[in-house]
Amino acid sequence: MVKKIISTLFLGILLATMIPTFADAAITINYVDVPIDDSLNIRKSPKATAAIITNLEAGTEVNVYSKTKGWAKISANGIEGYVNSSYLSSEKISPASISSYKVKAISVAKQYLGTRYRWGGITPKGFDCSGLVKYSYAKAGKTLPRTAAAMYKKGSSVNTLKAGDLMFFAPNRASKPTHVSIYIGGGQMIQSATSKGVSIASISNSYWKPKYIGAKRI
């Protein structure tokens, strides 16, 4: 009987040591890459509907154990969980760059007011809508996909707009985005439109407002 108990205890200890934990995995260091006034949610499991454990401020250093299907298994400040891996950077983020990249992207776009619209254009010789957004954010240090539809898959959805958020438009809500602009504050957006090229318009514009399908914060 004693031997059986000892054997059972030994087996339990052995199995416990074989169960992988966060601490058993190889670690890489990343940093939270979100705007200075935002935060990154740590969730209990790798899905957007999972419960939020806590959130991390911009620039926070995190230990990353694995990344798969858009999620990273991490620990930070003694807490373990999962975060959206698109908001992690391998480079240390300075508070100055966190707070200024959206401002810079808007500033870059404004430099090209009056530039003609050009289908497929991604340079100051002529921009299409996503070309202007991609170019402006690239100059601010952020790489975005080429098309409005691909951009719409990035970032987090927002209901209350802040300067630098991307606004998306489509013929109807069942369609993929066909147009993208940058919200610049004050109820206005900057865009490259077929009729006026790079220009500023009201988000309440009678043409664009019915086509608005949502915004993303990058």
Specify whether 11 is catalytic: no
The pair of three-digit structure tokens given for residue 126, joined into one six-digit string = 């002529």
Residue with tokens 């951009």: 151
Q: Which of 43, 73, 102, 179 is catalytic?
A: 179
CA-atom Rg of the chain in angstroms: 23
Q: Which of 76, 129, 190, 198 is catalytic?
A: 129
Q: Which of 191, 198, 213, 218 is catalytic?
A: 191
Helix ranges, 19-128 (H): 95-111
Tell me the pairing of strands 122-123 and 71-76: unpaired
Which H helix or E strand runs over 53? strand 52-57
Inter-residue contact 56 to 78 (CB < 8 Å): no
C-alpha–C-alpha distance, residues 66 and 6, integer Å: 36
Specify whether 179 is catalytic: yes
Specify whether 188 is catalytic: no
C-alpha–C-alpha distance, residues 169 and 127, integer Å: 17
Catalytic residue annotation? 129, 179, 191
